[in-house]
Amino acid sequence: MYDILIIGDRMNKKDKLAFYTFLMVISGVFGWIYEVIFYYINSGFKTIYMRGSCFLPWIDIYVIGGLFIYLINKKTKNPFMVFLKSGIICGLLEYITGYLLFVLFDGQRSWDYNTEILNFGNINGFICLRSVLFFAISGVFLMYVIVPWIKGRLRKKHDGLFKIIFITLFIIFLLDESYNLLARFNVIKAPSAGDIYRKVGVEYMEFNDY
């Protein structure tokens, strides 16, 4: 009999793997959707950019952010504290990641708030109040809408197909991510997602476009 009580991380290994897989896929795709919409607005509603560094709609820093939000908030009961902690942890993640990319890649950036709209509270182009507030609100949405939805699906007795779909998507995303990392750093001699998208005329924005 399939009977699972999911409170925090009290779940068997298979369901724990499925839970974190769902969480990572949803977080990565959510981030991609947000960035496509924002940069379309930022362009004055003129250009739709393919964002990220992969072929598929997935942005890795949002995957990490989603995991951090869940891990620091899984025992938090107060929505305001979820909001506050999510904004702080994701703000730190964004600033540290942006700064490290800037240093390691000779001034190249994945984003630059100096050049964007609604950039109040901008610190060195790596972080701004708008992004922190978005991450904080997203953290509340993740913890009070997405996480309960995932756990509800895992409680269902006959939902194996749902798990297979998400785990398959996660594997595909990881392969996409791995290929593009190897291509970008010339470990393999192959075109990256950005190279191919640009050849076919797609507006593609990645870390070396600033």
- Which residues of the chain have a pLDDT value below 70? 1-11, 157-159, 206-210
Provide the phi-psi class of 8: left if phi over 0, else alpha when psi is between -120 and 50, else beta: left
Residue 1 lies in a domain: no
d(CA 176, CA 54): 6
What residue numbers bound the domain in which 116 lies? 13-209
Spatial separation of the C-alpha atoms in residues 22 and 72, rounded to whole Å? 18
What is the DSSP code (8-state) at residue 145?
A: I
Residue entry with tokens 């990572």 = 24
Instruction: Give the whole-angstrom CA distance, residue 76 versus residue 56.
Output: 33
pLDDT at 166: 84
Q: Give pTM, 2 decimals.
A: 0.88
Determine, yes or no, domain membership for 108: yes
- Nearest alpha carbon to residue 10 among 105, 151, 120: 151
Distance in angstroms (rounded) separating the CA atoms of residues 197 and 191: 10
The pLDDT value recorded for residue 8 is 45
Cα gap 183→197, rounded to integer Å = 14
31 located within any domain: yes
Best CA proximity match to 127, nearest among 81, 100, 96: 96
- The helix/strand/coil state of 51 is strand
Look up residue 92 and give its two tokens.
């730190």
Question: Does residue 2 lie in a domain region?
Answer: no
Q: For 138-197, how does the pLDDT look when each residue is reduced to its tens digit (9 = 90+)? A: 999 999 999 999 988 888 766 677 788 888 999 999 999 999 999 988 899 999 998 999
- Number of domains forming the structure of the chain: 1
Q: Exposure string (b/e) for 173-192, b if CB count within 10 Å is 16 or more?
A: beebbebbeebbeeeeeeeb
How high is the pLDDT of residue 32?
96
CB 131 within 8 A of CB 113: yes
